[in-house]
Amino acid sequence: MEASAKPIAARLLRWYDASHRSLPWRSPPGAPPPDPYRVWLSEVMLQQTTVAAVIPYFAAFTARWPTVEALAAAPEADVLAAWAGLGYYARARNLIACARAVAARGGDFPETEAELRALPGLGAYTAAAVAAIAFGQRAAVVDANVERVVTRLYAIGTPLPAARAQIRAAVDTITPADRPGDFAQAMMDLGAGICTSRAPRCLLCPVAGACAARALGPEAYPVKPPKAVKPQRRGRAFWIERGGAVWLMRRADKGLLGAMRALPDDSWSARSDGSQAPPLEGPWRAAGQVKHSFTHFDLDLQLMLYSGSGWASLAGEAGEWWPLDRLEQAGLPSVFAKAARLAAADEELGEQR
């Protein structure tokens, strides 16, 4: 580590000792490292998700599946249902695959960054985080908070994502061999609570004296390219009810919301050009619209209620009648949970019950 980098690590670790966040997957400074299973599980959950949103999910998962072997033995449908609401459902499928791979090797996670990268679903960030936090390995841990801190610390003007190699090199330069896990978590905490996207609290920053962007205007960093306009899709979801139950299908294993229980729908892709959907045959009634934003597109989903005395035939779609009084346990993805709430609020449907 360069001499100029040593004070940064030392100051940051002193600040972390006094100001660290207490989180259920962490060990406090100076304590033995946390269980690798808990580190890995939390890091997967935290990808593109806030700490506040993750805490109750983490508590529920670790209560239900306290070890990686327990998670590996769980039915996939149960894990996906427990994940519902966290979003980015490919993470849940990778979670199951990784748990089973670790269980197959006796339940022990590998300790090095390179070996961790070989596990299903572990990218550069997660592998580095587990190696540093759970095993004390020196690794450059770079999440969105760390990106922001480092681009400001060094006034890196290259726009993201092109700047990421430069950022990673800078993080590697300042990461100490001693307490690399605490250092990684200190960088995360600094970005989450001090070096925030807007109105950073520079007067409280332990490394403000070394920050090149402080005098230039820290909010200008990191430099980001203009946001692309998301395409707009339109589709329909179908609510079919009988005898206190609603018809749910299981989505294909691969693709968006893969393997999740869901309302039947029309795949959303046919009307990305703004054209109108063809009329439905049979006793269908529009019950309102759900708006939902995915990573790569926005969706307007029209909910259609089946108002006939029988039930609609869904040829070729594997599904099940799910009791309405247990619908929260079905683990519907957020977009379909919104549609279910819309159906429940529909007055005419309420009268039919």
Is 348 among the catalytic positions?
no
pLDDT exceeds cutoff 80 at 350: no
| Per-residue pLDDT reduced to its tens digit, 241-293 | 888 899 999 888 788 888 888 999 887 654 555 556 666 777 888 899 999 99
Question: What's the pLDDT at 39?
Answer: 98
Q: Which CATH number fits domain 232-352: 3.50.50.60, 3.30.499.10, 3.30.710.10, 3.90.79.10?
A: 3.90.79.10
At the second CATH level, the architecture of 3-220 is: Orthogonal Bundle (1.10)
pLDDT band for position 147 (cuts 50, 70, 90):
very high
> What's the first-to-final CA gap in the chain, in angstroms?
70
pLDDT exceeds cutoff 70 at 84: yes
Q: What is the mean pLDDT of residues 157-178?
A: 95
pLDDT band for position 57 (cuts 50, 70, 90):
very high
- Decide: 349 and 339 in contact? Cβ < 8 Å: no
Residue 268 tokens read as: 């959303």
pLDDT band for position 1 (cuts 50, 70, 90):
very low
pLDDT exceeds cutoff 70 at 236: yes
Catalytic residue selected from 2, 43, 111, 281: 43
| Per-residue pLDDT reduced to its tens digit, 42-56 | 999 999 889 999 999
Residue 249's DSSP bridge partners are 262, 319
pTM metric for this prediction: 0.78
pLDDT exceeds cutoff 90 at 186: yes
| Per-residue pLDDT reduced to its tens digit, 287-332 | 999 999 988 889 999 999 987 765 555 544 578 899 998 998 888 9
Question: What's the pLDDT at 2?
Answer: 40
Q: Which run of H or E residues covers position 49?
A: none
Positive or negative CA dihedral for 182, 187, 191, 195?
A: positive
Residue 240 Cα distances to 49, 219, 275, angstroms:
33, 50, 25
Q: What is the mean pLDDT of residues 128-152?
A: 96
pLDDT above 70 covers a percentage of the chain that reads: 91
Question: What's the pLDDT at 3?
Answer: 36
The reply to whether 232-352 shares the fold of 3-220 is no
Domain boundaries, the chain: 3-220, 232-352
pLDDT exceeds cutoff 50 at 65: yes
Residue 237 tokens read as: 């979801």
